[in-house]
A and B are shown apart, each in its own frame.
Chain A
Amino acid sequence: DTAVSQTPKYLVTQMGNDKSIKCEQNLGHDTMYWYKQDSKKFLKIMFSYNNKELIINETVPNRFSPKSPDKAHLNLHINSLELGDSAVYFCASSQAEGNGYTFGSGTRLTVV
């Protein structure tokens, strides 16, 4: 059983398109996150949700819109994709401060 699952694993799309990445966790965790890993492998938080409530929004362009229908799901919708959005996007979840995260396997987004 996969603890944090993301779909799709790979996504290739043209500039200007709109796409979504889905994330689900079966760990019963209260908090979910989206992180972006750039081409230099640097990881930066984008969003954090706690029990469906947005906690952190780290100066991400408003073309990115997270949605959490319930505490087990956190989806990421991206409008008007740009070349610079190409990256690996990781979903993660955690139960409590200090416990660390459980990460999904990532979605490699390529915008052409």
Chain B
Amino acid sequence: AQSVTQLGSHVSVSEGALVLLRCNYSSSVPPYLFWYVQYPNQGLQLLLKYTTGATLVKGINGFEAEFKKSETSFHLTKPSAHMSDAAEYFCAVSDSGPGGKLIFGQGTELSVKP
């Protein structure tokens, strides 16, 4: 069965500092991997996804993630945090099949200090 583990339920960084949100997955098949962001009282917005091909994936708002098969990781990074990045971030792995479900990690709350 597929699963996702996000290390750290809360991460705090200073504005301008590097953002690193960690995600490890387990999957018996080549995975599809995603990062979503949820702002307060809003739905989830897709930041980026990995399906096949290039292992370094660039997303919206300056975020990127690298798929490392040997480490079963898909960590999210941003070189310089902005106050507007404060939100909840979810890593997810996709099940296979036409009705394939997304299995989410438990989420990481990112705080950005001025």
A-side residues, CB < 8 A to B, are 4, 30-31, 33, 40-45, 48-50, 55-56, 58, 90, 92, 97-106
* Chain B positions within 8 Å of A42 at CB level: 104, 106-107
30 residue pairs A–B, Cβ–Cβ below 8 Å: A31-B98, A41-B38, A41-B107, A43-B44, A43-B102, A43-B107, A44-B104, A48-B99, A48-B100, A49-B99, A55-B97, A55-B98, A56-B101, A97-B32, A97-B94, A97-B96, A97-B97, A97-B100, A98-B32, A98-B49, A98-B94, A100-B32, A100-B34, A100-B46, A100-B94, A103-B36, A104-B43, A105-B42, A105-B43, A106-B41
Q: How many B residues touch the partner, as a band? A: 20 to 34
**B47 — nearest CB in chain A belongs to which residue?**
A100
Among A30, A45, A58, chain B packs the most CB atoms within 10 A around the CB of: A45
By the criterion CB–CB under 8 Å, are A55 and B99 in contact? yes
How far apart sit A44 and B106, CA to CA, in the bound complex (Å)? Answer: 10
Interface residues of B (CB under 8 A from A): 32, 34, 36, 38, 41-46, 49, 51, 88, 90, 94, 96-104, 106-107
Residues of chain A within 8 A (CB-CB) of B41 are 106
Distance between Cα atoms of A45 and B36 in the complex (Å)? 15
By beta carbon, the residue of chain A nearest B34 is A100
- Give CA–CA (A44, B94) in the complex, Å: 13
Cβ–Cβ contact B43 & A103, under 8 A: yes
In the assembled complex, which residues on chain B have CB atoms less than 8 Å from the CB atom of A99? 49
User: Apart from A97-B100, A98-B32, A106-B43, what 7 extra A-B contacts exist at CB < 8 Å?
Assistant: A41-B38, A41-B107, A48-B101, A50-B99, A92-B44, A97-B94, A98-B49
A1 to B104, CA, bound (A): 27
Contacts of B49 in A (CB 8 A): 98-100
5 closest residue pairs by CB, A with B: A55-B99, A48-B99, A103-B43, A98-B32, A105-B43
Alpha-carbon distance between A101 and B36 when the two chains are bound, in angstroms: 10
Which residues of A sit under 8 angstroms from B45, Cβ to Cβ? 103
Q: Please name the residue on chain B nearest to A45 by beta carbon.
A: B101
The complex places the Cα of A39 from the Cα of B89 at a distance, in Å, of 16
Taking the closest CB of chain B, its distance from the CB of A59, in whole angstroms, is 13
